[in-house]
A = this chain, B = another copy of it.
């Protein structure tokens, strides 16, 4: 794995002689140094390479992507530490190679990765990166929700992100650096606004209609047709055969279709999901007082961004879950300002690294 750069004897460290390195100014405020941004999800890992710009003024929005690479899963909970580390090293090497760059040009790395719930997770993953890079390279490890937030705020950690795909999570930062999250605990622990949650409730409604516990619903025909089944009884075997969350969450479009056709059961499921998702954001906003300074009311009119990410919020259907969530949040917090990111989370991670670097350099110049 160490054929990309010089070595200082430790075969895992891609060494660079920082002090003697030639940082050619490119005339646009960047030099030959680069930042790697990585979005490490459960299904895939994306790495982008962007140039290092030396000042806020010189950073173009969106930033130019020098190289981009995609690899498999880098969630250590899913594939184990060795495989996760190998995947990360591979995807970074490929992004660098596509950029016409190499390990020695790397100035900072930010990895947003799922499964980072504790400082110990963060520390462990930082240690892997530390083994790959020499000590002058700035390394940042965050929950993947933080990179998603940065993809909407262009690297600034302020406001709240709501992700609703197969799972869901809300994650926010106050200007003073305080952070808070809500949801994101998985289906056993009640992430009911997630794609999995919506689809599981729809499947439940079909079973309840079938066994006499609930009202008849269009969901029955819609879902049975989508799955190629002939009776609700067969849903039991279908769910037991493979209870993967993504397979169940894939039924969300059927639920939306039924709600668009005014089916009451499907509509109630979506309305409840909207309430759950909005509540996740509201809880974060209140804990961080993102809406303003009134500590007790916590319902000020202060403006703050709400970055909206994930298939459940981006479906762009007539029954628009994302729009309804924003409406619900704004009823309590009129200053909530929705943002649909124009760049992918890996770019968010790169911008986050750049933002951390700027903050540190400002702090250093003041100290």
Residues of A that sit less than 8 Å from B by CB: 77, 117-118, 180-186, 188-190, 200-201, 203-204, 207-208, 211-213, 233, 235-237, 239-240, 243, 248, 279-280, 283-284, 286-287
Closest to A231 in B: B118
Closest to A203 in B: B189
8 closest A-B pairs by CB: A190-B204, A212-B283, A182-B211, A188-B239, A213-B283, A189-B207, A185-B236, A185-B207
How far, in angstroms, from A190 to B233 measured CA to CA in the complex? Answer: 14
Residues of chain B within 8 A (CB-CB) of A283 are 211-213
Are B280 and A235 in contact, with the CB atoms below 8 A? no
Are A286 and B190 in contact, with the CB atoms below 8 A? no
Are A211 and B189 in contact, with the CB atoms below 8 A? no
Closest to A78 in B: B240
Are A240 and B286 in contact, with the CB atoms below 8 A? no
Contact of A188 among B117, B200, B279, B287 (CB under 8 A): B200
Closest to A276 in B: B213
- Interface centre among A117, A118, A189, A243, by most chain B C-beta atoms within 10 angstroms, is A189
Are B190 and A201 in contact, with the CB atoms below 8 A? yes
How far, in angstroms, from A115 to B330 measured CA to CA in the complex? Answer: 48
Residues of chain B within 8 A (CB-CB) of A203 are 188-190
Contact of A284 among B212, B236, B239, B284 (CB under 8 A): B212
- Interface centre among A188, A190, A237, by most chain B C-beta atoms within 10 angstroms, is A188
In the complex where A213-B280, A287-B212 touch, is A186 in contact with B240 (Cβ < 8 A)?
Answer: yes
How far, in angstroms, from A235 to B191 measured CA to CA in the complex? Answer: 14
Are B118 and A233 in contact, with the CB atoms below 8 A? yes
15 contacts between A and B (CB under 8 A): A117-B233, A117-B237, A180-B212, A181-B211, A183-B213, A185-B236, A186-B240, A188-B239, A188-B248, A189-B200, A189-B203, A190-B207, A212-B283, A213-B280, A213-B283
